[in-house]
Structure 1
Amino acid sequence: MTDLATRPDANDSSPDDGTAIIDDVTTQSDDSGETPPTTYEWAPTEPAPKKRHLGLWIGIPVAAVAIGVGVTSLFLIAPGTSIAGVPVGGLTPGAAAEAVQQQLATTTIVLTGPGGDAEVTAAELGATIDAKALADEAFAQHPAWNPTTWNATPAEVEVTLDPATATEALRAAVPSMYVDPTDATIGFDPASATYVVTPAVDGQGIDVASVEGALTDAFASGDTNIDLAAATAPVPAEGTTAVAEATAGQLNGMLDSAGFYVGDERTVPIDRATFASWLTVTPADRGTFTISADPNAIQPTVDGLAAAVNRAPVDSTTIVNAAGRVLSTPTAGAVGRELGATDGIAKAFADQIGAGNAVYALPVTEVPFHTTSLARMLEVDLSEQRLYVKENGNVVDSWLISSGANNTPTYTGHYNIGYKATVQTMNGYNRDAAGNITGTYSTPNVKWPMYFNGGQAFHGVYWHNNYGHTMSHGCVGMPEWRAQWIYNWAPSGTDVWIHN
């Protein structure tokens, strides 16, 4: 059997693991007579108990909790803080925003009226607040780590309704309180040939502003359900009278100017009723109107443009004197014109009308006119007692006249027609053969006088018929109908040549 023994110095030399090794070796014979070596190992020793530091382990969790609380307070809103009627103390800004938004969405307005009660929530009304900004502001002004900001006065909040969403929800809840508005309309009046306006008529509906105010008050007080006596307000028409009148004014302005133009000339005016028949006036977005024109309706007028626009030139005729000065223009010249290609005019005019412009400039080519100058002259041959009417050196007509007698001769020379009158009294002096004044004369109702040399003139004579002989006090007399003819034929400035 094996004996276990403990060495006296085992505690001093035993290994660190607590096992003692016996160094002594004893012998024991076996049947063979040989003594085999036998080795003995000490049993393991009991491990020494470890020291427990209980105080340390208790202190660590307490410190961690304290630190955690302190750190957490850096992210929380102070206790006692509320946004309107929603308590948000002890919440993070994100949680606070969610709480505020959720309470707003579930806040209910109970509309009371003659037709009974109806409920509508803030969410259905399209109510909005900037919950995130409010929560961030609450945290910024009232952080939990600052006890001086605890239990603050509730933050004020203004609830905003989307007018379209709110109106739709309220109409669905209380349809009996709504009367639809009537938009203004525009139509062409054949009697006055103008566009006239039928004014807009306002409708009626629940006053959204009063609902918005009630919802703001309810939310501020923390109420999630509030009664409201439904009040009505006018519902303006989208198509207002003012916009319709402005559009009608634009249309009537186009009626006044509608046509096809050559320069500033409205060569082809468009009848007002015809022009209106080309147009369609359609209500558009936000109460406006769209004006459009039909190219197919315009095309028949375009097809007739050539006959109305094309014209031959009108040649001009001018009367000049020998110096080339224009004395008069019996026929004024006019430029001719030819219309260019008309392809696409109907479509282009329709587009232009839609943009508000009814003045269409036509593509035309001008054809110049020619001017004929007529150099006119009244020539008197005293030796023949004859007047020759000449144009560009050619005799147009001639007749006998009576010029000045020997004692009051008609003076020779080149002159020009000056003053002209249809009728007058002619006064003068009588002279003897020596040229001495022997008296005066006064002849009334002398027709068609044209003066060319001082007091000497061409004129009609009603007191004698002795033409071809000298008879006057220096003038050139002739029958009245002849005097009238040259009066109209020879403008002031016409050349006069008196010779023998």
Structure 2
Amino acid sequence: MVTRPDADSSNDAAADDATTVALDAGGDRTDGTDVRWAPAEPAPKRRRLGLWIGVPAALVTLGAAAASLMLVAPGTSVAGVPVGWLTPGAAGDVVTERLGSTEIVLETGATVTAADLGASVDGQALAEAAFAERPMWNVTQWFGDPVPATVTIDAEQTAEVLRDAAPALYTAPTDATVAFDAASQTYVLTPAIDGEGIDPTAVEAALQQAFDDGASSVTLDDPGRSTLPAHTTTEEAQAGVDTLNAMLDSAGFYIGEERTVPIDRAALASWLTLSTGENGEVTFEADAAAIQPMVDTLPGLVAREAVDATVITNTAGEALWDIQAGHTGRALESTDGIAAGFADQLATGNASYALPVVETEFQTTALTRTIDVNLSAQRVTLWENGAAVDSWSVSTGKQGAPTYPGEYTIQSMYPMQTLYGTYRGPNGEDLGPYVQPDVKWMMYFNGGQAFHGVYWHSNWGRPSSHGCVGMPEWRAAQLYDWAAPGVEVSIHY
């Protein structure tokens, strides 16, 4: 007996009959037929076609959903640049790159790019704004209106680039200049002259239009002209001239408020080097080495001995007049660092240098002076610090025109005057006018009464005047030099 290889022992009897046959000792069927088995067929596998189709479809769906959250809506353009299906970052780069490559063709045929002119848009901000308004997931925003973009250029860079590209369209400006004029000993300016060139606003407008239209180039046949201001304007140069001339007026080495050592205007100008600052302003610097030779002379020019003061006072001790003004003594501490310090100071526009000095105080001598007139003795006596220092005969007012006793002070003093008055009789009667010219050393103490010199008589010791105290001219000159306004006068019998 033999059994078919794929026979299943669990099969029923019918199955056994189909799979079992009798064989003899040689392996032949006992019924005379050959035994030939067909190969066993494998069991059929279960079909999973739905799985293989479903997984990719799910992935596509998930990817599309994710993309709709990250990409700009289809049909969106920023200033004519399509940015649909792009991320905001990529969209920003595309917008910026597109602007930079836009060409401008000048009337001379020269070509420059927007990037050459420093043109810019905030591509990233525009792309992010477009994405915020028009994300891909929002199908209502697909193929919307173009998003506008404002183009700006660097005016200074534009002028420079276009000038290099088309020099025939430009007239260069001329800067204002400042120089020292030896004839007038002042700084003078030469005014600036403005230049002319392509109007940057026209370039910007044309570039904006090209960008909005999606054009890759634009031709400027008539771009217009604009003024090109000088780097150093007339106003800036004038400000420099004003500062420099003020320095010339005040230049010197000072002790307090005193300009002890003035500086020659041309010398100061020779120390300064003028230049132009970043903003066109006039700047200057000083050469310390050029200043040093003058600094070396300062000790001798500054040093002086103290001078004591002599002052006329009244009996109350109030100063009336300086016979000799007092001055402190002084000496320069050191010249170290003065040249360098002054150079630094000059660069700031300050030409008044304060010198470091050591001072010696002066002493003051007070002279208390009074004038005594004795009408009985017809004599004047000068008193100083309580002691009589001189005395001489005078001629006071005669009968009818007396010199009035009293305590007075010198009110005013004149070196010469013409006197006008009236002759008086013994009883004060009017005897007619008189004129006395060229009367010297007038010192008024009581209205029209005064001390003065007399050249028309010599009656000293006897009353002879119209109320004044007369004396020889040389004595009047002596008194004039000795007295001062405010000196007390005592007139008595």
Q: TM-score range by the shorter chain?
A: 0.7 to 0.9
CA contact under 8 A between 1:425 and 1:445: conserved in structure 2?
Answer: yes
- Aligned partners of 2:191 and 2:323: how far apart in 1? 58
Please report how far the alpha carbon of residue 85 of structure 1 lies from its aligned counterpart in structure 2 after TM superposition: 1.8
1:93 corresponds to: 88
Query: What are the Cα deviations for residues 455-480 of structure 1, in whole angstroms up to 9, with x where unaligned?
Result: 99877677875656788999977545
Please report how far the alpha carbon of residue 246 of structure 1 lies from its aligned counterpart in structure 2 after TM superposition: 1.2
1:337 corresponds to: 330
Q: Structure 2, unaligned stretches of length 5 or more?
A: 13-38
Question: Are 1:241 and 2:240 matched, yes or no?
Answer: no
2:269 corresponds to: 276
Question: Are 1:200 and 2:192 matched, yes or no?
Answer: yes
Query: What are the Cα deviations for residues 313-354 of structure 1, in whole angstroms up to 9, with x where unaligned?
Result: 332223345554545433332333322212221111111000
Q: In structure 2, which of residues 285, 302, 314 is the aligned counterpart of residue 309 of structure 1?
A: 302
**Matches of residues 210-249 of structure 1 in structure 2 within 5 Å?**
210-229=202-221, 231=223, 232-249=225-242
The two structures have a TM-score, normalised by structure 1, of 0.75
The two structures, once aligned, show a CA RMSD in angstroms of: 4.3
Q: Which segment drifts farther, 91-100 or 80-89?
A: 91-100
Q: In structure 2, which of residues 348, 353, 359 is the aligned counterpart of residue 366 of structure 1?
A: 359
Q: Which segment drifts farther, 371-380 or 267-276?
A: 371-380
**Matches of residues 49-448 of structure 1 in structure 2 within 5 Å?**
49-55=44-50, 57-113=52-108, 117-229=109-221, 231=223, 232-321=225-314, 324-378=317-371, 388-392=381-385, 396-400=389-393, 425=421, 430=426
1:23 corresponds to: none
CA contact under 8 A between 2:371 and 2:487: conserved in structure 1?
Answer: no
CA contact under 8 A between 1:322 and 1:495: conserved in structure 2?
Answer: no
- Aligned partners of 1:425 and 1:330: how far apart in 2? 34
- Aligned partners of 1:350 and 1:9: how far apart in 2? 120
- Aligned partners of 1:429 and 1:361: how far apart in 2? 69
- Aligned partners of 1:453 and 1:111: how far apart in 2? 97
Query: What are the Cα deviations for residues 403-431 of structure 1, in whole angstroms up to 9, with x where unaligned?
Result: 8999x9999x996656678757587774x
Q: Which segment drifts farther, 55-64 or 357-366?
A: 55-64
**AA matched with 1:287:** G
> Percent same amino acid at aligned positions?
51
CA contact under 8 A between 1:84 and 1:156: conserved in structure 2?
Answer: yes
2:10 corresponds to: 11
Please report how far the alpha carbon of residue 302 of structure 1 lies from its aligned counterpart in structure 2 after TM superposition: 1.7
**Matches of residues 444-463 of structure 1 in structure 2 within 5 Å?**
none
CA contact under 8 A between 2:303 and 2:330: conserved in structure 1?
Answer: yes
2:283 aligns to what SS in structure 1?
Answer: strand
CA contact under 8 A between 2:240 and 2:283: conserved in structure 1?
Answer: no
Query: What are the Cα deviations for residues 86-145 of structure 1, in whole angstroms up to 9, with x where unaligned?
Result: 2222333333334333433333223233xxx23333333333222222222222212222
CA contact under 8 A between 2:369 and 2:487: conserved in structure 1?
Answer: no
2:64 aligns to what SS in structure 1?
Answer: helix
CA contact under 8 A between 1:415 and 1:452: conserved in structure 2?
Answer: no
CA contact under 8 A between 1:310 and 1:337: conserved in structure 2?
Answer: yes
Relative distance call for 1:259 and 1:50 in structure 2 (3 A) is: same
**AA matched with 1:120:** V
Please report how far the alpha carbon of residue 450 of structure 1 lies from its aligned counterpart in structure 2 after TM superposition: 7.2
- Aligned partners of 1:462 and 1:163: how far apart in 2? 91
Relative distance call for 1:256 and 1:54 in structure 2 (3 A) is: same
May I ask how many residue pairs the two structures share in their alignment? 458
- Aligned partners of 2:466 and 2:191: how far apart in 1? 84
Please report how far the alpha carbon of residue 151 of structure 1 lies from its aligned counterpart in structure 2 after TM superposition: 1.5
- Aligned partners of 2:448 and 2:75: how far apart in 1? 122
CA contact under 8 A between 2:77 and 2:146: conserved in structure 1?
Answer: yes
Please report how far the alpha carbon of residue 217 of structure 1 lies from its aligned counterpart in structure 2 after TM superposition: 1.5
CA contact under 8 A between 2:424 and 2:430: conserved in structure 1?
Answer: yes
Relative distance call for 1:157 and 1:450 in structure 2 (3 A) is: closer
- Aligned partners of 1:396 and 1:240: how far apart in 2? 74
CA contact under 8 A between 1:206 and 1:230: conserved in structure 2?
Answer: no
Relative distance call for 1:392 and 1:226 in structure 2 (3 A) is: closer
- Aligned partners of 2:443 and 2:105: how far apart in 1? 105
- Aligned partners of 2:122 and 2:366: how far apart in 1? 90
- Aligned partners of 1:477 and 1:191: how far apart in 2? 58
- Aligned partners of 1:286 and 1:379: how far apart in 2? 76
**AA matched with 1:343:** D
- Aligned partners of 2:444 and 2:204: how far apart in 1? 97
Relative distance call for 1:400 and 1:153 in structure 2 (3 A) is: closer
Relative distance call for 1:454 and 1:149 in structure 2 (3 A) is: closer
1:39 corresponds to: none
1:211 aligns to what SS in structure 2?
Answer: helix
2:21 corresponds to: none
Please report how far the alpha carbon of residue 305 of structure 1 lies from its aligned counterpart in structure 2 after TM superposition: 2.2
CA contact under 8 A between 1:415 and 1:453: conserved in structure 2?
Answer: no
